[in-house]
Amino acid sequence: MKQMRKLALIALCLTMAMAFLACQRRGGETESAGGGEKLKIYFIPKDSVNPYFYAIDVGFKEAIAELGEENFEYIYTGPATAGPTDQIEYIEAAVQNKAFAVFVSANHDSALNRTFDDARAAGVNVFIMNQDIPGSEDHRDAAIMPASFANVGPLLIELMGQQIDYSGDFAILSATTDAPDQNAWIDGIKQALAADSKYANMNLVTVVYGDDQPEKSTTEMEALLTKYPDLKGVIAPTAAGIPACAKVLQTRRLTGQVKLTGLGLPSTMQEFVKDGTCESFALWNPPYEGYLAVYLVDAIANKGYKPVPGSSFEAGKLGTITIESNGQILTLKDLMVYDASNIDEYAPLF
């Protein structure tokens, strides 16, 4: 009996020693989140080939550098294609890796709902990045928006109108058929087209989809020019599509004959603005989105902040940010227009 008690005591001591060492190892990794492990943040873009999302990635890294790289583990990962369910395995991997938060630029309004629900049930904060998921807002904690999407469609149709003298056929080259952000912008274009008499002589002939792939966008642009020989302009609200469209116009020597506008990155559009292929296009500041995301995570993990409508948090150089009544977080209110007057200033940045 004495021998059994001795063995039990030794086993208990070993267990306590191992637990102590484990706690020492965990506590020694970082001082963040109350001395616990590093905050794991995942950014899962629509696809891994669109350069737009690299710009958002820049903002994540900038904020992490400000708040201390030792406090975060940041993972940027996503599918090669932008299918409705292609992101599921990446979200599930983040949950398995005990992520604190995932930021997802969703490829569908509702296809990820069950995956989001499972992630939240496991304690992961789920945020939509660069858009929202209309009709499925209850399945996320909040949505980080680059700007108010209500302003995108009207601005793009106005830029197109200015370039084609508010008259003639034009087309839209979008990303994927299911992309919530793209569809919201296209709806905005159509609504403005129908509501404002200024656009009465402009005719939207078709909407085509390049699937956020440069190669397919190029093919679709070539097909547009063949099918509609009188086409006067193209709106491409996709950072992967607009430079592909511009390259087609440049190669075909159609600069000035077929106008081009949309949403793009100054870095990929600089060449085409400077040679006149694209007079002007719009965007916001993508790095701000990633930057804001990190400060949001820090506020939640370290300051007891709860991301509910009407509440506010501090986001470094972006100042005080307040969550809108619909659970959206705006990085900017208005879009920026890029043209020959400012393209050289912004192209080195993103």
Residue 37: predicted pLDDT: 84
DSSP H stretches of helix in 122-151: none
Please give the pLDDT value at position 36: 62
Print burial letters for 252-286: b (CB count within 10 Å at least 16), e (below 16). Answer: eeebeebbbbbbbbbbbbbbbbeeebbbbbbbbbb
Residue 264's nearest CA partner among 252, 278, 250, 276 is 278
For 295-348, what is each residue's pLDDT tens digit? 999 999 999 999 999 999 999 999 999 999 999 999 998 899 999 999 999 999
At the topology level of CATH, where does 32-144+286-332 sit? Rossmann fold (3.40.50)
C-alpha dist (Å) from residue 324 to 294, 310, 321, 344: 18, 6, 9, 34
- CA distance linking residue 133 with residue 112, whole number of Å: 10
pLDDT in tens, 159-188: 999 999 999 999 999 999 999 999 999 999
Residue numbers in the chain where pLDDT is lower than 70: 1-36
- Taking the C-alpha atoms of residue 52 and residue 181, their distance in angstroms, rounded to an integer, is 14
pLDDT the model gives residue 333: 83
Q: 115 — alpha (psi -120 to 50), left (phi > 0) or beta?
A: alpha
Architecture of domain 149-283: 3-Layer(aba) Sandwich (3.40)
* pLDDT tens-digit map of 115-128: 999 999 999 999 99
176-190 residues labelled b (16+ CB within 10 A) or e (exposed): bebbbbbbbbbebbe
- Sketch the domain layout of the chain as residue ranges: 32-144+286-332, 149-283
Tell me the three state secondary structure of residue 258.
coil
Domains 32-144+286-332 and 149-283 share a fold: yes
The model's pTM: 0.79
- How far, in Å, CA of 244 to CA of 241, rounded? 5
